[in-house]
């Protein structure tokens, strides 16, 4: 590995679907518990409690004619246009997702050819040396793609790598499961480029996979409603409490490992970009992380959030958030030269990763 070579963010892009689905749109849903029994509380109470726990007010769904690869292509095109990147000079296209392309009204996943190959095709790239592949790694997939891209660049194998996180979770959720209100659709893209500018770019990273008792905290199962007409299909299911407890214990420790590998201290961190999974959970993770350094109160403006309006779009949450900050779409949240960001994610696997990046 060439330690003189750094991986710098050359450009970012995103695609946020136009369709807004508000919490009140779930008022007519029939919710069932995991054991198949009807939820006894009325929907207004269910939705109010959901919003209090997650902070989610609304989310975005893709248009019926769009699939995940379409969202990924639009985000990629956005990133390319912003920096006038010649697509033929991309060495890799890595697309992080978990369910492939799913047609509207169906539940069957389609991943042949890979979504990355579909994106390369849509971009019209002819260069066969532009390698396109998919990365299923749960919600931390985009960040893991950034880690892989960094290895390619530091090894001298690549100069320009595009990493995309795209998901259309609205196609894989059980309408009779309360957790269905968490998920949304979207895509974010990043172009990493090789540079010899020291003190910039990716400074460190750390990943973990826990599978002893944690492997099936997120999984695919049938509908909560036993006689649902699409009962033969399987849907994304989650043990919310177990995920919450797991994340609070383990994510701050992985964040700390990345910080220590970078040789910095928490006071040097300008922003913490955490996977937008659950508003209250992310706040608790942030507090636990700073508590590791005997800091009781994290800086009030250090963790920008998009979950209230965009929901949880899995692999797309962090690259979308990053793009919004870099393009001054997040109010008072900005990242300028010299700033250091800590990025972290957690999700199915169970997988965790963290990265330190200096702008």
Per-residue model confidence as pLDDT tens digits over 317-328: 999 999 999 999
What pLDDT was estimated at residue 88?
A: 97
Q: Could you give the percent of the chain with pLDDT greater than 70?
A: 98
Q: How many CB atoms lie within 10 A of CB 293?
A: 11
Domains and CATH numbers, the chain: 6-198 (3.40.47.10), 202-358 (3.40.47.10)
Structure confidence by residue, pLDDT tens digits, 137-146: 999 999 999 9
Which residues make beta-bridge pairs with 345? 353
Give the mean model confidence (pLDDT) for residues 147-165: 97
Rounded to an integer, the average pLDDT of 114-132 is 98
The predicted model gives 47-71 an average pLDDT of: 96
pLDDT at 231 over 60: no
Predicted confidence at residue 322, as pLDDT, reads 98
Strand order in the sheet with 6-15: 6-15, 185-195, 160-168, 92-96, 131-135
- What pLDDT, on the 0 to 100 scale, is given for residue 198? 80
pLDDT at position 36 is 86
User: What pLDDT is recorded for position 230?
Assistant: 59
Token pair recorded at residue 103: 């047609």
Of how many residues is the chain composed? 359
Straight-line distance from the first to the last Cα atom of the chain, in angstroms, rounded to the nearest whole number:
21
Residue 151 pLDDT: 97
Residue 150: is its pLDDT beyond 70? yes
* pLDDT confidence tier of residue 334, bands split at 50, 70 and 90: very high
Per-residue model confidence as pLDDT tens digits over 249-269: 999 999 999 999 999 999 999
Quick: pLDDT tens for 84-114: 999 999 999 999 999 999 999 888 999 999 9
Beta-carbon contacts of 37 under 8 Å, excluding residues fewer than 6 positions away, are none
3-state DSSP helix/strand/coil % of the chain, to nearest 5:
35, 25, 40
| pLDDT attached to residue 228 | 82
- The whole-chain average pLDDT of the chain stands at 95
* Percent above pLDDT 90 for the chain: 91
Report whether pLDDT(2) > 70: no
Lowest mean pLDDT among 37-51, 71-85, 280-294: 37-51
Q: What distance in Å separates the CA atoms of residue 135 and residue 137, rounded to the nearest whole number? A: 6
The model's pLDDT over 285-316, given as tens digits with 9 standing for 90+, comes to 999 999 999 999 999 899 999 999 999 999 99
Choose among 143, 97, 137: nearest CA to 344. Answer: 143
pTM of the model: 0.95
């Amino acid at each position: 590995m060439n330690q003189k070579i750094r991986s710098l963010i050359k450009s970012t892009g995103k695609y946020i679907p136009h369709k807004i689905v508000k919490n009140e749109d779930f008022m007519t849903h029939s919710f069932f518990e995991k054991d198949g029994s009807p939820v006894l509380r009325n929907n207004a109470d269910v939705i109010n409690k959901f919003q209090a726990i997650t902070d989610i007010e609304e989310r975005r769904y893709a248009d019926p004619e769009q699939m995940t690869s379409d969202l990924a292509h639009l985000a990629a095109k956005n990133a390319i246009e912003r920096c006038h990147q010649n697509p033929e000079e991309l060495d890799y296209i890595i697309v992080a997702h978990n369910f492939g392309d799913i047609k509207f009204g169906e539940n069957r996943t389609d991943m042949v050819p890979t979504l990355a190959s579909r994106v390369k095709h849509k971009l019209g790239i002819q260069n066969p040396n532009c390698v396109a592949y998919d990365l299923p790694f749960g919600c931390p997939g985009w960040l893991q793609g950034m880690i892989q891209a960094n290895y390619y660049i530091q090894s001298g194998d690549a100069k320009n790598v595009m990493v995309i996180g795209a998901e259309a979770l609205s196609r894989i959720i059980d309408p009779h499961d309360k957790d269905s209100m968490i998920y949304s659709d979207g895509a974010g893209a990043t172009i990493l480029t090789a540079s010899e500018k020291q003190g910039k770019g990716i400074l460190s990273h750390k990943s973990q996979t826990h599978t002893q008792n944690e492997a099936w905290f997120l999984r695919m199962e049938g509908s909560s409603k036993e006689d649902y007409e699409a009962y033969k299909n399987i849907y994304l299911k989650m043990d919310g409490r177990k995920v919450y407890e797991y994340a609070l214990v383990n994510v701050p420790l992985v964040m700390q490992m990345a910080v220590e590998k970078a040789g910095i201290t928490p006071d040097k961190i300008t922003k913490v970009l955490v996977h937008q999974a659950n508003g209250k959970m992310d706040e608790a993770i942030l507090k636990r992380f700073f508590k590791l350094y005997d800091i009781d109160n994290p800086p009030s403006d250090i963790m920008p959030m998009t979950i209230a309006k965009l929901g949880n779009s899995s692999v797309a949450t962090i690259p979308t958030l990053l793009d919004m900050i870099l393009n001054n779409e997040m109010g008072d949240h900005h990242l300028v030269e010299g700033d250091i960001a800590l990025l972290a994610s957690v999700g199915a696997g169970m997988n965790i990763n963290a990265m330190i990046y200096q702008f």
